[in-house]
Amino acid sequence: MIKDRLYYSNIIVNKIEENREIIIKNIELQVKKGSNFIFFTIDNLLPVEDVMEIYSKFPKKEEMREKKNLREYKLIEAQLNNHDRILEEITYSFQEKKVINSIASIIGKDDIIADEFLYAGGLSRMEEGNYLNPHLDNSHDKDRSLYRVLNLLYYITPNREIEDGGNLELWDKGLKNDQTVIHSKFNRLAIMVTNKESWHGVSKVKKGNRCCVSNYYFSKKPMSTDDYFHVTSFRGFPDQKIKDIILQGDTILRTSIRKLFPKGIVKNNHIYKK
């Protein structure tokens, strides 16, 4: 059996469909509570031996690009053809039409387009001390013609405990309230809406590594009714008061630059050049 995107996507769709009822109930509850930041997780996505194989081929620290600043400290790779073929296959399996359709029908949005250039998607690796501060994802795609609407995060590092840090944190009740912690557990797919309220981040990794395969879905229409545009906007974690002020200033600065130069001044090289 060739482990290609078709193979993975068949398993993924079956898993989503198996969980359809529970996911829909969960989303309905969130909507009822008035949340616009919808998310859900699907556990045991792939057979364990398949995830272990993907994990074993995941690029090592030295083979990835380090992003290190006040906002984030992590390793990324979008240039998938520099690595084992299996990594490109698992990443793009989430972009197969039937996976998109299955998720789209659950979310109730029919005009979803996958991000074939992996603009800010692809592989990410976080090691001890790495973090991703609370942020709103950039509202649009690389040409600023489509809205980002969903983020799919598939965690593949075995034996990660919640105490090891590196968990996905969602401010689904607003930044002034406590965040919901999503354990970045082995073989878990987390799916979250991205809009102007979806503040999220990754807590500092305390132990081991945290490998993730990520994909964005786009759409001509946003997840809400009104139009909006924002650059990736960062905040401090709740205990980082000074960093919070600095990061808010940083967002204001980058927003003003973006107003002067709508396509940005530095070329974003976090894309898959085919």
Ligand X SMILES: O=C(O)CCC(=O)C(=O)O
Applying CB under 6 A, which residues contact ligand X? 124, 132, 137, 153, 168, 200, 202, 212
Taking the C-alpha atoms of 161, 186, 140 and 104 in order, what is their torsion angle to the nearest 10 degrees? -130
CB of 232 to Fe ion, least distance (A): 8
Give the separation between CA 15 and CA 19, rounded to whole angstroms.
6
Q: 69 or 159: whose CB is closer to Fe ion?
A: 69
Q: Kindly report the number of other CB atoms within 10 A of residue 273's CB atom.
A: 8
Give the separation between CA 130 and CA 105, rounded to whole angstroms.
35
Q: Which does 172 bind (CB under 5 to 8 A by kind): Fe ion, ligand X, none?
A: none
Q: Which does 193 bind (CB under 5 to 8 A by kind): Fe ion, ligand X, none?
A: none
Q: Which does 93 bind (CB under 5 to 8 A by kind): Fe ion, ligand X, none?
A: none
Is residue 172 involved in binding Fe ion (CB under 5 A)?
no
Restricted to residues 119-158, the positions that interact with Fe ion (CB under 5 A) are 137
Q: 200 or 235: whose CB is closer to ligand X?
A: 200
Q: 92 or 216: whose CB is closer to Fe ion?
A: 216
Q: 82 or 255: whose CB is closer to Fe ion?
A: 255
Q: Which residues contact 236 (CB under 8 A, 6 or more apart)?
A: 133, 134, 242, 243, 244, 245, 246, 247
CB of 16 to Fe ion, least distance (A): 21
Task: Write out the two tokens for 152.
Answer: 């799919």
CB of 2 to ligand X, least distance (A): 28
Q: 9 or 130: whose CB is closer to Fe ion?
A: 130
Amino acid (1-letter code) at residue 253: L
CB of 91 to Fe ion, least distance (A): 16
Q: Which does 164 bind (CB under 5 to 8 A by kind): Fe ion, ligand X, none?
A: none
CB of 21 to ligand X, least distance (A): 26
Q: 4 or 128: whose CB is closer to ligand X?
A: 128
Among 92, 208, 193, CA closest to 156: 208
Q: 142 or 200: whose CB is closer to ligand X?
A: 200
CB of 150 to Fe ion, least distance (A): 11
Q: Which does 124 bind (CB under 5 to 8 A by kind): Fe ion, ligand X, none?
A: ligand X
Question: Which residues in this chain contact Fe ion in the complex, by CB under 5 A?
Answer: 137
